[in-house]
Amino acid sequence: MGVHQYFKSLSDLEKLIRCPGKFKYQDHNVAAHSFKVTKIAQYLATVEEQNGQEIDWKLVYEKALNHDYPEIFTGDIKTPVKYASYEIKKLFAQVEEEMIEKFITEEFPEQYQEIYRHRLQEGKDDSIEGQILSVADKIDLLYESFGEIQKRNPEPLFFEIYESSLETIMQFDHLSSVQDFIEHILPDMLQEKFIPRSELREITMSILEKREIKRRL
Amino acid sequence: MGVHQYFKSLSDLEKLIRCPGKFKYQDHNVAAHSFKVTKIAQYLATVEEQNGQEIDWKLVYEKALNHDYPEIFTGDIKTPVKYASYEIKKLFAQVEEEMIEKFITEEFPEQYQEIYRHRLQEGKDDSIEGQILSVADKIDLLYESFGEIQKRNPEPLFFEIYESSLETIMQFDHLSSVQDFIEHILPDMLQEKFIPRSELREITMSILEKREIKRRL
Amino acid sequence: MGVHQYFKSLSDLEKLIRCPGKFKYQDHNVAAHSFKVTKIAQYLATVEEQNGQEIDWKLVYEKALNHDYPEIFTGDIKTPVKYASYEIKKLFAQVEEEMIEKFITEEFPEQYQEIYRHRLQEGKDDSIEGQILSVADKIDLLYESFGEIQKRNPEPLFFEIYESSLETIMQFDHLSSVQDFIEHILPDMLQEKFIPRSELREITMSILEKREIKRRL
Amino acid sequence: MGVHQYFKSLSDLEKLIRCPGKFKYQDHNVAAHSFKVTKIAQYLATVEEQNGQEIDWKLVYEKALNHDYPEIFTGDIKTPVKYASYEIKKLFAQVEEEMIEKFITEEFPEQYQEIYRHRLQEGKDDSIEGQILSVADKIDLLYESFGEIQKRNPEPLFFEIYESSLETIMQFDHLSSVQDFIEHILPDMLQEKFIPRSELREITMSILEKREIKRRL
Amino acid sequence: MGVHQYFKSLSDLEKLIRCPGKFKYQDHNVAAHSFKVTKIAQYLATVEEQNGQEIDWKLVYEKALNHDYPEIFTGDIKTPVKYASYEIKKLFAQVEEEMIEKFITEEFPEQYQEIYRHRLQEGKDDSIEGQILSVADKIDLLYESFGEIQKRNPEPLFFEIYESSLETIMQFDHLSSVQDFIEHILPDMLQEKFIPRSELREITMSILEKREIKRRL
Amino acid sequence: MGVHQYFKSLSDLEKLIRCPGKFKYQDHNVAAHSFKVTKIAQYLATVEEQNGQEIDWKLVYEKALNHDYPEIFTGDIKTPVKYASYEIKKLFAQVEEEMIEKFITEEFPEQYQEIYRHRLQEGKDDSIEGQILSVADKIDLLYESFGEIQKRNPEPLFFEIYESSLETIMQFDHLSSVQDFIEHILPDMLQEKFIPRSELREITMSILEKREIKRRL
């Protein structure tokens, strides 16, 4: 029924919860994740540009915005299934492609079909914009898993996600933006302090005493 | 790390929400769904037995309890993907089997491995117990979709689920228990009345008047 | 503490729920809203471009992505308060600006400050990109309120929001993209059908009968 | 451990959800319910006072604020159980009393025990303040069930609650405040209109046309 | 539409979540918060009375119950915005006042307007009842932030809230009730112990051993 | 209205949240709990059978599936109330029985009433199947409370539940399945490691360094 179906489907992305089947302190949906990835990609591309790299901004945004949209058609298939064999990966990519093609042909006016066909294809290629998407996607995943570790989620999975995200990011350390992330952003993340209970008692006592002293003066 | 991992995994089923990516008034998790399917299967098997069918009760319960456990390994793959082609279906079944095998070998003591290998295999076969599972699974899905339709979920998907669930149930209408369901339970479900607003006004007025009359006496 | 604070703040947008203080069937957070607005703006700009309008794509995306970011500093101030008087509106805009300035100066490296200063300023100006943002923001609000009306939220507020959003969109009906929306998308939205209970009984009966007929053949 | 335990227990009332075991569109907790009952009692007492009744305001507030606090000790016992027999009702009341007594003796400083013993006893007596509590408690229950009916909760239970709440309120129709409620508030509640979908189409068309007309002028 | 609108608005307070835009382990709504503040104020006033202070109980309850009601009109404006300048604070106060005035005139019967005008005005004045409200409001905020710190919320904000709440409470340490809080309640709060994991192992072992010993006897 | 009411009631068990009135990181409903208890009972019975015990499998499953169903009629009565006196316990059991009897007579076809009367009676008797139910119920409670302790729930209640659950399990340590649990499963539960923040830093550094080294080669 046309573009209305496309607009309506955006709201379905708000009901797709990432990492289902695991207890999390904070849930994230695919729409919000896509937003964060796009904002992170914006920063990374800014750093690249400042370092002399030519950036196709339109492409950066298109890739980041749409990178998880196909999950609407396929659902959340666990990574080990997806990558169980070369065959299954190829077949799966094929099915996904057919579903996107069907959706575009059915819902989009003819004059926009080619444009959306392009927008909804796999974005993580070797171009600088494709690399930025790969890194931005993993940085948000790193933040999501860090959020769970920091809240002391006992599930080892989040530690594994943190580890493998960082490893993937590091594979792009030839990029200035990744070097910037490693040198300036990651250290701040690791320095996030947790206010220990002992400090709670100290601050309480100090407030009480301060008052006491003032009163005596 | 042994059976502890298996016990712990049961709680992951509580975090697997059925039908992700769609707005629902009431969410259902896989653990609760499995409970309801087992209770429904219990009733269906009771009807079958009363109608002279021999029932292997142990098998009824094993099939119903475990029928969605493998989703822990594979995640929620949308049906259209799963059934896109014969090839992909076969490959997915194969991957699932390997994952279950790996889990059993790693976590269960040797003397119980064969038992769990049997328990965790696909339960919907042609035996009377397998057929009961097929029907019970769809009856719960019928109730879940009916619940959304009754609460006036505007998403056509739930109507489609209701329709296809009922169609599947009807394919088993050679079973006494399905005939019992069609004749005695489904009509009551359809007769669930909704209290219309007009009735709200009426009942309000009648309470007010009743009181008025009493006071005058 | 630098860009880490900025990245972390994106997650706060996931905890800002739109339209607080009112019962809603489906909640939306500011991060997901920003994603949807950006995707809608992408479509509108595509239509404009196809109709001969020159589009600065980088600007379209920057405006849409960042348009609600300042809510992190100010919180959700109800519109009637914000627009109670010219004075309060001016003062409020001033405070917002100071807070953004403070954030940029404290958190961003010097070489990126000017870029972010530009990105985080009010985006709804008279440029074609500014107009597209105004329309996209209201289309998402229209969909959010339509979703509540369709689910039969009895709160008149959502009808008022629907009405005023549509009125604002209509103020931009000199745009080809708005004409496209009115002629092709809005009619489909209004034709969304609700499956009435009578149809539920009919489809149930038809499935039962179909089976009956087949069996008799 | 003293009054700290009492203050902390207030937060447990926020985790006690009313009417458990039933699907509701909007959940209410005991803390929020107690707040609403107190505000409603405030209004009812105001009406009584204006009609010449002498009101012990301190008592009105004490009764309303504390009327559900004992649920912390007993949990949510379904009404049919509670009132199954005279014997069980008497025994439950006795157990509740003992638990409150134990809590007061253990947690409150001696000089305040008598005061809290008085505050935490059953408030719904024959005094004007006790009657106001009885009515206010049922008015909030009426609003809670009306909210579900208005959102079209198909569960007949909420209609039954609406009905029995109104019947209880009517037993106090010798009170001016109940007459005020029946004559001025209840009619407005019943007149809450629901915006029908036909109206949605009309308003949409009217906005579109208005614009059209303006443009032509 | 009269007092019905006022009663209905109480339920909107249940949908106003305190401290939006931040991850919290436990959410609190304005209705429940108002309840807790009123109960805390009740205790504080009890202590004051026992220490010879004359208390206007009606006023204590009115102030506590209504202190956050105006948030229905204004929404949650972040404190730094509200207090950015003397001018903006004055203007906001003015707007709030006008909105309350409009609500009272439109919804309340004439004979109750003056009473509610009085009830809904700013309650934190210099009277003993106003001071009790200021303290009770901050004690509940202290408990809310303590709850997050105790659950190990890594967000520094909650530590800042804890600190500034306690500082405000201390400004009222000329009150007997504040002295009582500092001397008897706060120490108990700080002594809340957390069961460390080592203790978990110990208790487990001790239960196992106890049993072992009994069996051997 | 027949078995439909029974099927529908299963969904009410999904809305009964265990341990109401207390903050929990992860909620559990009665339907999901019943599922987990049945799965745990299945394992325990398997161990018993392997150790030469004769098992009535049908009974094991019936007892586990139905053990909390009566909560639909009675609600969640806090244990201290339930066991306050012998009298109250007896009366309460009597009321529960009457309610179940009424439900069965009203909803079930005559030919199944006797079967369900048997299924819904108290399952924790001295038979091997009854003992397995007692143990399985407590093992799930142990896991639920362990989950809260591991997530660092500061509420001492969960430690008390952990302790008393383990003590009850130990009372059945004449069972091979309990010995298996103590020797093989409990130790793994206690060895669940929590990834400390120091390890987070280490793993981060090691990933960074590994990359560095590779690059230099």
DSSP C38: H
| CB-CB contact of C111 with A180 (8 Å) | no
pLDDT tens, residue by residue, D142-201: 999 999 988 888 888 888 899 889 989 999 989 999 999 998 999 888 877 655 556 667
DSSP codes of every residue in B49-66: HHTT----HHHHHHHHHH
pLDDT at D116 over 90: yes
Q: What is the CATH number of the domain that holds D111?
A: 1.10.3210.10
B contact residues 21-50, partner D, Cβ 8 Å cutoff: 25-26
Residue A26 phi/psi, 5-degree rounding, is: -130, 120
- Residue B179's pLDDT band (cuts 50, 70, 90): very high
C contact residues 1-20, partner E, Cβ 8 Å cutoff: 11-13, 15-17, 20
Identify the bridge partners of residue C88 per DSSP, sorted by sequence position: none
DSSP D75: E
Start-to-end Cα distance in chain B: 78
Closest residue in D to C22 (Cα–Cα): D26
Buried b (16+ CB within 10 A) or exposed e, C6-35: bbbbbbbbbbbbbbbbbbbbeebbbbbbbb
- Residue C1's pLDDT band (cuts 50, 70, 90): low
pLDDT at C33 over 90: yes
| CB-CB contact of C122 with C92 (8 Å) | no
What pLDDT, on the 0 to 100 scale, is given for residue C77? 75
E contact residues 164-203, partner A, Cβ 8 Å cutoff: 166-167, 170, 173, 182, 186, 190, 194
Identify the bridge partners of residue F75 per DSSP, sorted by sequence position: D77
- Residue B192's pLDDT band (cuts 50, 70, 90): confident
For residue B56, give how far its alpha carbon lies from the nearest alpha carbon of chain C (Å): 29
- Residue E217's pLDDT band (cuts 50, 70, 90): low
C21 contact residues in E (CB cutoff 8 A): 12-13, 15-16, 71-72, 75
Closest residue in B to C27 (Cα–Cα): B23
What pLDDT, on the 0 to 100 scale, is given for residue D39? 97
**Average pLDDT over every residue of D23-33:** 96
Closest residue in D to C26 (Cα–Cα): D25
What value does the mean pLDDT of chain D take? Answer: 88
A72 contact residues in B (CB cutoff 8 A): 21
For residue D117, give how far its alpha carbon lies from the nearest alpha carbon of chain E (Å): 13
Residue C103: which of C63, C71, C60, C61 has the closest Cα? C71
C4 contact residues in A (CB cutoff 8 A): 184-186, 188-189
F195/A25 touch (CB, cutoff 8 Å), yes or no: no
Neighbours of chain A (3+ CB pairs under 8 A): B, C, E, F
- Residue D207's pLDDT band (cuts 50, 70, 90): confident
Which of A72, A75, A95 lies nearest to residue B84, judging by beta carbons? A95
The burial of E35, by beta-carbon neighbours within 10 Å (0-12 exposed, 13-18 middle, 19 or more buried), is given as buried
**Average pLDDT over every residue of A155-181:** 91
C154 contact residues in D (CB cutoff 8 A): 150-151, 192, 194
Closest residue in A to B13 (Cα–Cα): A21
CA dist., res. C214 & res. B33, Å (int): 32
A contact residues 127-156, partner F, Cβ 8 Å cutoff: 149, 152-154, 156
pLDDT at D108 over 90: yes
CA dist., res. C74 & res. C94, Å (int): 12
CA dist., res. E79 & res. E84, Å (int): 8
CA dist., res. E65 & res. A50, Å (int): 56
Residue indicated by tokens 């954030």: C103
What value does the mean pLDDT of chain E take? Answer: 88
D194 contact residues in C (CB cutoff 8 A): 152, 154
CA dist., res. C125 & res. C62, Å (int): 13
Let me know if chains E and B touch, i.e. at least 3 Cβ pairs under 8 angstroms: no
Closest residue in C to D150 (Cα–Cα): C154
Neighbours of chain C (3+ CB pairs under 8 A): A, B, D, E
- Residue E41's pLDDT band (cuts 50, 70, 90): very high
DSSP codes of every residue in A134-174: HHHHHHHHHHHHHHHHHTT---HHHHHHHHHHHHHHHTTTT
Residue indicated by tokens 């200021």: E134
Please state, in angstroms and as integers, the Cα–Cα distance from residue B68 to each residue in A67, E8, F40, following that order.
Answer: 30, 44, 16
For residue C98, give how far its alpha carbon lies from the nearest alpha carbon of chain A (Å): 22
User: ipTM of the assembly?
Assistant: 0.91
| CB-CB contact of F58 with B58 (8 Å) | yes
| CB-CB contact of A78 with A18 (8 Å) | no
A188/C5 touch (CB, cutoff 8 Å), yes or no: yes
DSSP E76: E
Which of A47-51, E17-21, F72-76 reaches the highest mean pLDDT?
A: A47-51
Residue indicated by tokens 């559900």: D68
D211/C159 touch (CB, cutoff 8 Å), yes or no: no
For chains B and D, count residue pairs whose Cβ atoms are closer than 8 Å: 38
What pLDDT, on the 0 to 100 scale, is given for residue A87? 82
- Least confident among B152-161, D208-217, F18-27: D208-217
- Residue A165's pLDDT band (cuts 50, 70, 90): very high
- Least confident among A105-109, A211-215, D114-118, F144-148: A211-215
F86 contact residues in D (CB cutoff 8 A): none
Full-model pTM: 0.92
- Residue C57's pLDDT band (cuts 50, 70, 90): very high
> Structurally, how many domains does chain E consist of?
1
pLDDT tens, residue by residue, B74-113: 877 777 777 777 888 888 888 888 899 999 999 999 999 9
Which of F4, F46, F47 lies nearest to residue B188, judging by beta carbons? F4
D contact residues 66-95, partner F, Cβ 8 Å cutoff: 71-78, 80-81, 84-85, 87-88, 91-92, 95
**Average pLDDT over every residue of B181-192:** 87
A153/F151 touch (CB, cutoff 8 Å), yes or no: yes
> Which residue out of B189, B207, B210 would a mutagenesis test of the D interface target, given it has the greatest number of D Cβ atoms within 10 Å?
B207
The burial of B198, by beta-carbon neighbours within 10 Å (0-12 exposed, 13-18 middle, 19 or more buried), is given as exposed
E149/A200 touch (CB, cutoff 8 Å), yes or no: yes
Neighbours of chain F (3+ CB pairs under 8 A): A, B, D, E
CA dist., res. B191 & res. F4, Å (int): 10
Per DSSP bridges, beta strands E75-77 and B75-77 are unpaired
D73/F71 touch (CB, cutoff 8 Å), yes or no: no
Neighbours of chain E (3+ CB pairs under 8 A): A, C, D, F
Give the torsion sign (CA, F71, B5, A19, A86): negative
CA dist., res. E102 & res. E96, Å (int): 10
B84/A98 touch (CB, cutoff 8 Å), yes or no: yes
> A56 touching F, CB under 8 A?
no
Give the three-state DSSP class for E77.
Answer: strand
- Residue F61's pLDDT band (cuts 50, 70, 90): very high
CA dist., res. C186 & res. C194, Å (int): 16
Residue E192 phi/psi, 5-degree rounding, is: -45, 120
| CB-CB contact of D26 with D149 (8 Å) | no
CA dist., res. F76 & res. F93, Å (int): 14
A194/F195 touch (CB, cutoff 8 Å), yes or no: no
Query: Cα D210 to the chain's mean position, in Å?
Result: 46
Buried b (16+ CB within 10 A) or exposed e, B129-147: bbbbbbbbbbbbbbbbbbb
Task: Find the domain containing A78 and state its range.
Answer: 3-216
Identify the residue with better confidence: C156 or D214. C156
C159/D26 touch (CB, cutoff 8 Å), yes or no: no
